[in-house]
Amino acid sequence: MTISVGENMPSGTFGVMADAGPSSISTNDLFSDKRVVLVSVPGAFTPTCSMSHLPGYIDQISSLTKKNVDTVACMAVNDVFVMDAWGKDSGVGNNIIMLADGNGEYARALGLEMDATSFGMGIRSQRFAIIVDDGVISHLAIEAPGQLDVSKAEAILEAL
């Protein structure tokens, strides 16, 4: 069942790259006492994700922080090494946390996984953006298949 506005974000852990190598961050550390925009993409280095979705958030990071967003995080069902490489390639710097949901467990906990086996990609996350206020979902924007409209940075800025 898909999560909805007003619900708490499920507990979980993401892979992240730290200076010393692969590490992790808990949802408690990510969401507690913060306003977070969690963006999810079907895959790192994929065309729409790399050319439009993530770059939109990179371009709008200062506008997002002006709207009291403490953290912008980008999640994909990829491993921590891929997410780190994609973040470096995209130039996210310290502005966006790149979250690896390597086995798709968090996408599944949200009820937002999708079957991309017909594209050779296995089970992935749907494209979405969630505004999370102190662990509670205040806005949920799930894209229709093949679309980038409601979860893009400009739409989330309007929702803030």
Please name which of 77, 81, 89 lies closest in space to residue 124, comparing C-alpha atoms. 77
Helix (H, G, I), strand (E, B) or coil at 38: strand
**Active-site annotation holder among 39, 49, 77, 92:** 49
CA distance 156 to 6: 17
* Residue 74 designated active-site: no
CA distance 151 to 141: 5
The identity of residue 35, as a single letter, is R
* Residues in Cβ contact with 25 at an 8 Å cutoff, skipping those fewer than 6 apart: 13, 14, 16, 97, 99
CA distance 97 to 158: 22
The identity of residue 142, as a single letter, is I
Supply the residues annotated as catalytic. 49
